[in-house]
A and B are shown apart, each in its own frame.
Chain A
Amino acid sequence: MQKEVTVKTALDHGLNAAEFESIKKHLGRVPNLVELGIFSAMWSEHCSYKSSRVHLRRFPTEGPQVVQGPGENAGVVDIGNGLTAVFKMESHNHPSFIEPVQGAATGVGGILRDVFTMGARPIASFDCLRFGHQDHEKTRFLVGGVVKGISMYGNCIGVPTVGGSTRFHECYNGNILVNVMTVGIARRDALFFGKASGLGNKIIYIGSKTGRDGIHGAVMASDTFGEESESKRPTVQVGDPFTEKLLLEACLEIFRENIVEGIQDMGAAGLTSSSFEMASRGNSGITMHLDKVPMREEGMTPYEIMLSESQERMLLVAKPENEQKILDILRKWDLEAATIGQVEDHGHVKLLFHGELAADMPVDACVDTAPKYERPMQRPAYLEKTAAFDTASVPAPASLNEAFFKLVGSLNLNGKRWITEQYDTMIGLGSVFGPGHDAAVIRVMGTNSALAVSSGCNERYCYLDPYVGGMIALAECARNVACTGAKPLASTDCLNFGSPMNPEIMWQFSQSVDGIAEACRKLDVPVVGGNVSLYNQTGEVAIYPTPMIGVVGLLDDATLAVPSFFQSEGDAVLLLGDTLNEIGGSEYLKTIHGHDAGKPPALDLTKERNLINALMELARKRLVKSAHDCSEGGLAIALAECALDKKVGCEVDIQTALRPDVALFSESQSRAVLSVAPQNLKAALAVIAAHKVPCAEIGKTAKAFAVKVNGKAALTADIADIVKTHGESFEKTLFPQ
C-alpha cells in the first residue's frame, strides 16, 4: 500500500507548503509519491532555476554568430567551414565536496554528454576549481581527489583537459567549486536537439543500467550543507568513463546515420528531467513503461527509477522504422538499450510499471509552471567596510623582490603543473597551445582554423563589487582569447553563489548578472548557455560570489596564434593600457598585506573593446611575437610569466607617478604585455595608436629579469629562480615530500 502524501512528505522532499498547494492545484488532486518525487526534482533549484530565472533573462543571448542560445543541452556558435562550436560549463560542487574523485569525475562525464548529445565531438575540456585555504584540513584531500577524478574520466574518454583555473580562498573551506566546461565541434547541418516529437515515435533508453545511485542528487544540490552532509555520500554517483566512451562513439555513429529525432542526456534528475524536458520542447506527451528500463539492481521502484542519477545514460527519440538500426549500433558497442515508450499527443507524461499507472502528470504543470521567485535583495552590509578601506594605508614592503617572489610562489599565481600533468592535454592532436597560455588554442581538424578558449573568475573582485567583478570576469576571458589573436565569439557561465534565501546573496547574484550582461553586450560575446549553482554555503557562511565564465573565440588561421611567452632576446617590450592606483582586491593586498578589501579595479568597456581589437589586428598582421594579459599580480607577475616558457626575460623601466609597489602590483584592467621584433615595431605602434590604446615601450626582452621603476632598480632575478619558484611551489606547499 502506497504511503499517503502529505505536506510533510513535500517538505521532506525540499518543497515548501505553497509549492505543495500549487502541485495539488495543477494536478487537481494529491500527487502520489512518484509524482511528488518528480515534482520535487523538476522544481528543485538545480532543475528549475526558480530563484535565478528572473535574472538570467537579462543576459544578451543573440548575435549573427549564435546558432543555439540558452535552453538546450549546450550553446552553439558558427565557426565557418560549415561547422559549429558546441559548448557549456556546469558545476558539480556539492558531490565533489562529499566524494571528490567520483564527484569531479561525474561532473566531467555530465558536461561531455551535454555536448555530444548535440551531435558534437568534444575536443577540449576546461576545469575551473576553487578550494579552501591551503592549511584547511580538507584542502589537500579535496585537491588530490578532484584532480584524480577529472584526470581519470577525461583521460580515459580521450578528451584533452587543456585549461581552466585553480584558485584558493578560505571562503571555499566548506564548499569547493568544481566547474567543468567542454567544447565540441559539430556540422552546422547535423545538430541534434532534446525534443520529443512525432506521434508514435519510439523512446529509446541507451547506456548504463539504472541503479540506486544518485537518487535525488538534484535536490542535494539545492540545499545548504549542514552537519549531515557526510551522510549524503551515497547520493554521489559513480562514473564509468569507459562506458561513456562507448556511448560517445555509438551516439556519433547514430548521428552520422541521421536516424534520430531527438536526444537528451540523463543528467541531474535522470529519467525525470530528460523525459519531461523533451516532451516540453516537443509540445508532446510521453508514455513510458518503467519495467522496461534496464536495471542494475532488483526490486527498484518507479520512484527510484525516475529519480536515479546513474551515469552514462541517454534518452533518444526515433521513428519506428529506425529503431532496429539504432539498437544494432548499440549492440556493436556492447551497450544496453531498450525501447521504453513512445511519443504521444496527450501532453502528459504517463508512467506505467508492469501495466499499472504509476504516475500521470501534465508536462506543462511540471515544466512551464515551475515556481519562479523574485527573491528579496539587499546590498550586503560588509560592503561599507570593504569599500572604505584605504589602500594607501598599507606600508610599502621593505623588499620589493621578496614580495615579488612571495607572489610568484603563492597558490593563486604559481604554476599548476602538478595538476595539468595529470591530465591528458594533447590527445586529439588539436592542442596548439595547452595549459599555461592566456587561452588554450585548439585547432579544428580538417580546417585551417582554431578555437581559443579561456575560463575563470576573480571571486575577490566579485565579493568587493559583484557588478564590476562580473564585468571583469567576462572581459578578462575575452581579453585572454584576444591575446592569442582570436576573435571572441560567445560565452558560457556557471554562476556559483550562496543561498538565494539570503537577500544579500540575491543582490550579489543580480549585480553579477548585470555586470556580465553589460560586458557581453559591449564586447559582443553573447551568453549561449550556462548553469547556476546556488546554496554553496555551509550554515551561514557562503562562498564569495563566483560567476565563472568561459569565452570561446575563433582564429581563422591557426598559424596566426600568438603565444603568451617572450620568444627571443632583443625584442621590444610594450605595455598596453593604463596602470592606475588600483591595488584594491589585488593578490598583492591579500598575499602580502592580508586584506580582502578595497574596491576592485575599474573597468572601462570601451577601452577593453579597443584593446581587444588592437590585439586581433596585431595578430592578423603577424606583428607581435607574444601577447600576455596583465591581470592578477599586476605587471610584475605578467612580466615574470612571459619569461616562463622560453626562459627569456626582460630589462624594463617603468615611468610612473605611482608608488613603486603599486606600479608593479596594481591590477588595473585592459592591459597587456607584448613583445615585438624590432623590424615590426613601427607598424605595431601604428596599429596600437589607430585603436587608441595607450602604449608604453618599457624595454627589451633579455637574458636577465630586471625591472626598474623610474630608473631605479625594483626587481632583479635570475630567470631560473623565477621558473623554479613558479614551477615547484604548488607541490611544495600542498604536497611536500
Chain B
Amino acid sequence: MTTAVQNLKVGVVVFPGSNCDRDTLHVASLLPGAQVRSVWHKETSLGDCNLAILPGGFSYGDYLRCGAIARFSPVMKAVADFAQKGGTVIGICNGFQVLTESHLLPGVLLPNESRKFICKNVHLRVERTDIPATRGLNKGDVLKMPIAHGDGNFFADEEAIARLEKNGQVVVRYCDERGNVTAEANPNGARNNIAGICNERGNVFGLMPHPERCSEDILGNTDGFRIFKSLATL
C-alpha cells in the first residue's frame, strides 16, 4: 500500500541560468496536496521543504564546466546538510551535474560522445525501486523519457563504476524500447549505459533525462509522472 506523503513541500532550487525550474515547479504542483516553491540560490536554508529538486538548465551558462560554479552557491551548503540528514534530493540534467560536482553523487558528466547537444526521446530501464524516486515503479519497467543535454556522458573510473554496480546505485539505464541495454540505445556514451544514479543511502538521486517533460497527457507521454508520484508516496 502506498500513501501520500503528508505535507509534501517541494523546493526547486534556482541558480542563475537554471531553465527547467518553472517546468519542474509546474509538474510538482500537479501532485495532490503538494506545496511547491522556488529556492533562490542565494538562500542559505531550504526552510521546511521535505523534497529538494535541482532542475535542468545551464547554471552560470555552463561556461567553466557544467555545474562547476553552481556548487559554490550558498544554497548548496543547505542542500548538502539536508541530504546529510536524509532529506530527499533529486537532480535532473544540469541538477545531476551539480550533484556530481558537489560530490553528493560520484562520477562526472562528460560531453556527449557525438560532441553535439542531443534532444530526443530515449528509453530507460528501471534497475532499483527501493528509493524515494522509484518506489512506485517495478524493476525492469521501461520508461520513455526525453533527454536534452550536451554533457550527459556519465563517467567514473573502473573501480567507482564497479562500486556503483555492486551497491545497486544505478537507478536507470539507457535501453531500447523492449528494455535491452545495448550500445545503440546509449545516446551519449555513458559508461554501462548509466542514465541515473543514487548515493549509497538512496536519498540523493540524479538523472540526465527529464521526467518533468513527460508528465502530462497533452504531451503524449506520462512516464515521467510515475517518478513524481513515487516521490509523493511512502
Q: How far is the CA of A426 from the CA of B16 in the complex (A)?
A: 20
- What are 25 of the A-B contact pairs (CB < 8 Å)? A152-B117, A155-B148, A155-B150, A158-B57, A240-B61, A241-B58, A241-B61, A242-B58, A242-B61, A245-B16, A245-B17, A245-B19, A245-B61, A420-B119, A422-B117, A422-B118, A424-B119, A424-B148, A425-B119, A428-B22, A429-B212, A429-B213, A431-B219, A445-B26, A558-B218
Residue of A nearest to B216 (CB): A429
Residue of A nearest to B56 (CB): A427
Q: How far is the CA of A241 from the CA of B57 in the complex (A)?
A: 12
Residue of A nearest to B21 (CB): A158
* 14 further contact pairs, Cβ within 8 A, besides A429-B26, A429-B212: A155-B117, A156-B17, A241-B58, A242-B61, A421-B116, A422-B117, A423-B117, A426-B146, A426-B219, A427-B20, A427-B23, A427-B56, A429-B23, A431-B219
Of residues 393 to 438 in A, which have CB atoms within 8 Å of B's CB atoms? 420-429, 431-432
Asked whether, in the complex, the Cβ of A246 is within 8 Å of the Cβ of B16, the reply is: yes
Asked whether, in the complex, the Cβ of A421 is within 8 Å of the Cβ of B219, the reply is: no
User: B62 within 8 Å of A by Cβ?
Assistant: yes
User: B60 within 8 Å of A by Cβ?
Assistant: yes
Q: How far is the CA of A559 from the CA of B216 in the complex (A)?
A: 12
Give B residues with C-beta under 8 Å from A.
16-17, 19-20, 22-23, 26-27, 56-58, 60-63, 116-120, 146, 148, 150, 210, 212-213, 216, 218-220
User: How far is the CB of B117 from the nearest CB of chain A, in Å?
Assistant: 5
Asked whether, in the complex, the Cβ of B148 is within 8 Å of the Cβ of A426, the reply is: yes
Asked whether, in the complex, the Cβ of A423 is within 8 Å of the Cβ of B119, the reply is: yes
Asked whether, in the complex, the Cβ of B219 is within 8 Å of the Cβ of A429, the reply is: yes
Q: How far is the CA of A245 from the CA of B23 in the complex (A)?
A: 16
User: How far is the CB of B59 from the nearest CB of chain A, in Å?
Assistant: 9
User: A374 within 8 Å of B by Cβ?
Assistant: no
Asked whether, in the complex, the Cβ of B210 is within 8 Å of the Cβ of A426, the reply is: yes
Within 8 Å CB of A427, what residues of B?
Answer: 19-20, 23, 56, 148, 213
User: A7 within 8 Å of B by Cβ?
Assistant: no
> What 1/0 flags go to A307-349 for Cβ under 8 Å of B?
0000000000000000000000000011000000000000000
Within 8 Å CB of B62, what residues of A?
Answer: 156, 242
Residue of B nearest to A433 (CB): B220
Asked whether, in the complex, the Cβ of A421 is within 8 Å of the Cβ of B26, the reply is: no
Asked whether, in the complex, the Cβ of A421 is within 8 Å of the Cβ of B120, the reply is: yes
Q: How far is the CA of A241 from the CA of B117 in the complex (A)?
A: 15
Within 8 Å CB of A158, what residues of B?
Answer: 19-20, 57-58
Give A residues with C-beta under 8 Å from B.
151-152, 155-158, 240-243, 245-246, 333-334, 420-429, 431-432, 443, 445, 558-559
A151, A429, A559 — most chain B CB neighbours (10 Å): A429
Q: How far is the CA of A152 from the CA of B63 in the complex (A)?
A: 12
Within 8 Å CB of B26, what residues of A?
Answer: 429, 445
Q: How far is the CA of A32 from the CA of B25 in the complex (A)?
A: 55
Asked whether, in the complex, the Cβ of B117 is within 8 Å of the Cβ of A151, the reply is: yes
Within 8 Å CB of B57, what residues of A?
Answer: 158
Given known A242-B61, A559-B218, contact A428–B117 (CB-CB < 8 A): no
Asked whether, in the complex, the Cβ of B19 is within 8 Å of the Cβ of A157, the reply is: yes
B17, B27, B56, B150 — most chain A CB neighbours (10 Å): B17
Within 8 Å CB of A422, what residues of B?
Answer: 116-119
Q: How many A-B contacts at CB < 8 Å in the complex?
A: 82
Asked whether, in the complex, the Cβ of A242 is within 8 Å of the Cβ of B148, the reply is: no
Within 8 Å CB of A443, what residues of B?
Answer: 218
Within 8 Å CB of B212, what residues of A?
Answer: 429
Given known A155-B148, A241-B58, A241-B61, contact A424–B117 (CB-CB < 8 A): yes
User: How far is the CB of A420 from the nearest CB of chain B, in Å?
Assistant: 8
Q: How far is the CA of A211 from the CA of B229 in the complex (A)?
A: 50
Within 8 Å CB of A155, what residues of B?
Answer: 58, 117, 119, 148, 150
Residue of A nearest to B60 (CB): A242
Within 8 Å CB of B17, what residues of A?
Answer: 156, 242, 245-246
Q: How far is the CA of A423 from the CA of B26 in the complex (A)?
A: 22
User: How far is the CB of A221 from the nearest CB of chain B, in Å?
Assistant: 27
Residue of A nearest to B40 (CB): A332
Within 8 Å CB of B56, what residues of A?
Answer: 427
User: How far is the CB of A48 from the nearest CB of chain B, in Å?
Assistant: 35
Q: How far is the CA of A623 from the CA of B210 in the complex (A)?
A: 34
Within 8 Å CB of B22, what residues of A?
Answer: 428
Q: How far is the CA of A159 from the CA of B17 in the complex (A)?
A: 12
Task: Pick the residue among B60, B116, B213, B218 that contacts A426 (CB under 8 A).
Answer: B213
User: How far is the CB of A161 from the nearest CB of chain B, in Å?
Assistant: 9
Residue of A nearest to B57 (CB): A158
User: How far is the CB of A259 from the nearest CB of chain B, in Å?
Assistant: 20
Q: How far is the CA of A155 from the CA of B118 in the complex (A)?
A: 10
Q: How far is the CA of A156 from the CA of B146 in the complex (A)?
A: 17
Within 8 Å CB of A151, what residues of B?
Answer: 116-117
User: How far is the CB of A428 from the nearest CB of chain B, in Å?
Assistant: 7
Q: Across chains A and B, which 6 residue pairs bring their CB atoms closest together, nearest first?
A: A158-B19, A242-B61, A156-B58, A424-B148, A429-B23, A424-B119
User: How far is the CB of A713 from the nearest CB of chain B, in Å?
Assistant: 34
B26, B60, B118, B219 — most chain A CB neighbours (10 Å): B219
User: How far is the CB of B96 from the nearest CB of chain A, in Å?
Assistant: 16
Q: How far is the CA of A426 from the CA of B215 in the complex (A)?
A: 12
B119, B148, B213, B216 — most chain A CB neighbours (10 Å): B119
Within 8 Å CB of B20, what residues of A?
Answer: 158, 427
Q: How far is the CA of A429 from the CA of B220 in the complex (A)?
A: 11
Asked whether, in the complex, the Cβ of A333 is within 8 Å of the Cβ of B218, the reply is: no
Task: Pick the residue among A157, A240, A334, A429 that contacts B16 (CB under 8 A).
Answer: A334
Within 8 Å CB of B117, what residues of A?
Answer: 151-152, 155, 422-424
Q: How far is the CA of A158 from the CA of B149 in the complex (A)?
A: 12
A152, A422, A424, A425 — most chain B CB neighbours (10 Å): A424
Residue of B nearest to A335 (CB): B16
Residue of B nearest to A420 (CB): B119
Residue of B nearest to A154 (CB): B117
Q: How far is the CA of A432 from the CA of B221 in the complex (A)?
A: 11
User: How far is the CB of B152 from the nearest CB of chain A, in Å?
Assistant: 13
Q: How far is the CA of A242 from the CA of B63 in the complex (A)?
A: 9
User: How far is the CB of B14 from the nearest CB of chain A, in Å?
Assistant: 9
Q: How far is the CA of A559 from the CA of B56 in the complex (A)?
A: 27
Q: How far is the CA of A522 from the CA of B154 in the complex (A)?
A: 55
Within 8 Å CB of A243, what residues of B?
Answer: 61
